[in-house]
Structure 1
Amino acid sequence: MSVISFGMNGSWTSPYVPQLLSDTSKIPMNSDEAAWCAIAHLCGCPFGALAAAYLTDRIGRKYTLLSMAPMVFFSQIGIGYVTNVWHLFVLKMIIGVADGGCFTVVPMYIGEISSPDIRGFLSSLVCLFYILGVLLMNTLGFYCSILTSSIISASIPAAHFLGFVFMPESPYYYIKVKKYHQAERSLMILRGESNVAKEVEVLKQAVKMQEEMVERPKFTDLFTVPSNRKAAFIFVILCTANKASAKAPLMSYTRYIFEETGSSISPAFSTILYCLVELLVVMFTTYFIIDRFGKRFLAIISSVGCSVTLFIMGLYFYLKDYHSDVIQQLNWLPLTNLIVNNVLFSIGISFTHMCYLSELFPTNVKANALCFAEILAVAQSAVTTKGFQMLNDRCGTLSISFFSAAVIGCIVLGFIVKYVPETKGKTLEEIQLFLMEKEDIKLGSGESLTQLGE
């Protein structure tokens, strides 16, 4: 529920920017102010990430997540009544603080409560429900006023709070604070079994080993400890691949982009279909693909496909702006190409950075790692979203933005091929041994994890 809310917040400007830029807008603004509103929640995310990194090891993963819901609830209600652009910016920034905390804690919580055979599935659900939130907001935005959609949006964090309060805390957290009985009870609920003593002992040994490596975890341990540095580097690659797909500006300006194509197909229909296809593809990928083919393979295929479709989109806008007679018979191309882009994005780089994020970092630095990940992700999203608007305004064409994203995507693809390993079917402990370059962990093919990394 918290991730659905995150998706709704992130895509709010998609249906409402054209309305806000119109002469009849109740919140008058220009293109530059609209772009700032598009990244307002991203500006708040780093503060939420820092707060969550501090709270998650003090009050637990569960209560840190619960604390975010009231912030979103009251801010959403406020958005329904705001009439000033900068008041809107502040409210969306407050929501961003909660979203930053959510993104920091949810991957940690999922990675720690799940067993290896379903961890990829559960981690990919984050992206599934995020997309559901995007689809929900785009649908509401075309048929509801800002006030109505804000009230509906406020109901999501309320439902999250009321439902999640009954969920168990992470057993890793309980072991970290030496509450072993509570950890055992939590595992009984999560595994549906009464005999979990063996797993508790395994977790205790894993946490102990990680804490012995760094007695007092610091933020700099992410870069000074070799295994953490390798994990951070892998995440940077995957996160950059995600942002190079231009997903952030596509999400924030979906309706605007479809309006700019000049296609005879309705922008409202195109936007909803675009989001619906992404949701269906992620559902299919989550259930049937991710745990069969592995995340690394999917990330490579996805990156190649996104770069090609972004190049085609850039070529379309180039022809539209400078050779308009050529594209008279290509009204179908923008929607078709962006749907293909959505499909290819959704089968790989939409979720791989989230899955790896929940797996790569040991318990003792996970809070700081997720804080770093959130700050990096929102910074890249803010740059790509604001850059999209600036390039379009200054160059007078969308083609430059799409060509730039395609080139960056090709560069990042090379890094994925060379440096990103496969973690399919490995426990969190085995992944840590790989990052520490222990030779005794083998892949199914018989080759060592160290060799895979190389």
Structure 2
Amino acid sequence: MIKPIFKMFEGSSPQLLAVLAGTINALADGMQYGWTSPSIPILVSPDSPVLITASDGVWLESIYMLGGIAGLPFSIYLVDYIGRKKTVLTSSVVGLCGWMLIGAGTSVNHLFIGRFLLGITADIAFNASPMYISEIAHQKIRGFLAGIIYLMMLFGIVVMYSIGTLVSIQTTAIVGGSLLLSQFIVFPFMPESPYYLLYVNKEKQAKRALERLRVDDDVTKELEEIKMAVERQKTEKGRPLDLFLVKSNRRACVIVMLLNNTQHFVGITVLIMNLHEILNHAGSDLLSSTTAGIIFASLMLIAASAATFTVDRVGRKILLLISGMLTSVSLFTIAVYFHLQHLQMNLTRFSWIPMISVMFYALTFKLGLGIVPIVTTAELFPARVKGWGLAVSDLVYVVSSSISIYVYQWLSGSFGMHVSFYFFGIYCIVSTVLIITYVPETKGKTLEEIQMILKR
């Protein structure tokens, strides 16, 4: 069983190396995504290197998302103007400046600017890197390679949760900045996307890039297929409106909106940002909040790794189906517990249930709903509008994240925490049905074949 799994990776080491080098920014982004959880308690303490207020802490959380929105026009423009690889390198430079401001900052404004710059970095990276990966990867392992960016981000969260409470703000900034500096040194030696090179009429460079990525394979046939696909896609207009005027693009937009919206409205952002509060509200003392956070992030990483290794074998839709069903069970279990607690029933003997349910959620969510969207989104748009399509996807991701937090706070404050989790559970079931009905299976398909499926 193990041998057939790894046989599909034979001859793929250049692709894997390029993807690892191209997703180091996601590792640094994961550290920044989880930065506020261990850092804000340090910053509000009397020994803080930069004194901040409680309201400053709220802004430090939100300004990162605002930076992501501000990065959208840059990511749309740069991926087609200077190429996928140079855009990734640009994001590394911007992110390095952000980490330097956080590490050397002497006022809260330095932290604000640093977080804002790192939000821009995250947006550019999560547009350019998935695009780069989808265009250099062979279809037999494209799902696996596309999932690596999410694994890197999750590993970054684990790193920050693990060291954030043990070392200074400056030390975490040095770690994050060093990662981006290493990417800036290593990634220039990786090949550019053959799709992009053909798109800008550099056929000889595209052939050399493809030969480096495919090792011993004769790339003549694949190069011709890519060339024909790019030429056909060039005949299609690349205006933003074409995302909605062209039927296949419109269908791709609906799919990525559904996938990215579902991620947040089944509660992932709420749980990551409010894990300690939720467990404290449940009265769960099975683990300390710090330990629970590290285990939660680690379980997400384990589940996402399993999904990444299997997504090209079992397919995208079966993972989404299993993940959706099991995640809804986790959410309804938490909802019922809080409902009984709201009715003032004595649940002391069962205070471990929310803790176990949350950890089960970490596994089930990342098994499909948390990993497949990033894989599928990079596959669906043609080259001509791919930058715009990924920007729309990223915008939906950021906006859905913000709205889901507001919905959670409103429902919990007005009706009780159980109502929030009932809402997330129902949303999970409905979205899973829509996904299975509407999202096409892209396992083993070339990017051109996927376009034909969307065009029907």
Q: Could you tell me the percent identity over the aligned residues?
A: 33
Please list the CA deviations of residues 273-304 of structure 1 after superposition, one character each: whole Å capped at 9, or x if unmatched.
111111122222222x2122211121122122
CA gap of 1:112–1:252, structure 2 versus 1, over 3 A, is same
Give the match for residue 283 of structure 2: 262
Letter in 2 for 1:298: L
- Does structure 1 residue 207 correspond to structure 2 residue 230? yes
Contact 2:64/2:116, CA 8 A, preserved across alignment: yes
Letter in 2 for 1:301: I
Give the match for residue 408 of structure 1: 427
Alpha-carbon deviation of 1:154? 1.5
Alpha-carbon deviation of 1:197? 2.0
Alpha-carbon deviation of 1:132? 0.5
- Does structure 1 residue 130 correspond to structure 2 residue 153? yes
Give the match for residue 279 of structure 1: 301
Contact 2:103/2:174, CA 8 A, preserved across alignment: yes
Contact 1:39/1:385, CA 8 A, preserved across alignment: no
Give the match for residue 267 of structure 2: 246
Please list the CA deviations of residues 56-107 of structure 1 after superposition, one character each: whole Å capped at 9, or x if unmatched.
1111100010011122112112223446555433321111011100011111
Secondary structure at the residue paired with 1:39?
Answer: helix
Correspondent of 2:52 among 28, 31, 39: 28
Secondary structure at the residue paired with 2:441?
Answer: coil
Please list the CA deviations of residues 127-155 of structure 1 after superposition, one character each: whole Å capped at 9, or x if unmatched.
21111111111111222222222222221
Give the match for residue 429 of structure 1: 448
CA distance in 2, matches of 1:260, 1:17: 21
Give the match for residue 12 of structure 2: none
**TM-score w.r.t. structure 1 length?**
0.89
CA distance in 1, matches of 2:422, 2:108: 32
Contact 1:307/1:406, CA 8 A, preserved across alignment: yes
Contact 1:359/1:428, CA 8 A, preserved across alignment: yes
Q: What stretches of structure 2 of length at least 5 have no aligned partner?
A: 1-23
Alignment map for 1:106-255 (pairs within 5 Å): 106-193=129-216, 195-214=218-237, 217-255=238-276
Alpha-carbon deviation of 1:226? 0.4
CA distance in 1, matches of 2:202, 2:382: 19
CA distance in 2, matches of 1:90, 1:337: 37
Contact 1:10/1:252, CA 8 A, preserved across alignment: no
Letter in 2 for 1:109: Y
Q: What stretches of structure 1 of length at least 5 have no aligned partner?
A: 438-454
Letter in 2 for 1:202: E
CA gap of 1:400–1:144, structure 2 versus 1, over 3 A, is farther
CA RMSD of aligned residues (A): 2.1
CA distance in 2, matches of 1:16, 1:371: 30
**TM-score w.r.t. structure 2 length?**
0.89
Runs of 4+ deviating beyond 6 Å = none
Give the match for residue 419 of structure 1: 438
- Does structure 1 residue 291 correspond to structure 2 residue 312? yes
CA gap of 1:304–1:262, structure 2 versus 1, over 3 A, is same
Alpha-carbon deviation of 1:10? 1.4
Contact 2:299/2:359, CA 8 A, preserved across alignment: yes
Contact 1:138/1:271, CA 8 A, preserved across alignment: yes
CA gap of 1:331–1:77, structure 2 versus 1, over 3 A, is farther
CA gap of 1:369–1:290, structure 2 versus 1, over 3 A, is same
Alpha-carbon deviation of 1:23? 6.9
Contact 1:4/1:132, CA 8 A, preserved across alignment: yes
Secondary structure at the residue paired with 2:349?
Answer: coil
CA distance in 1, matches of 2:281, 2:182: 37
Alpha-carbon deviation of 1:176? 0.3
Give the match for residue 377 of structure 1: 397
Contact 2:142/2:312, CA 8 A, preserved across alignment: no
Alignment map for 1:352-391 (pairs within 5 Å): 352-389=372-409, 391=411
Number of equivalent positions: 431
Correspondent of 1:310 among 325, 331, 353: 331
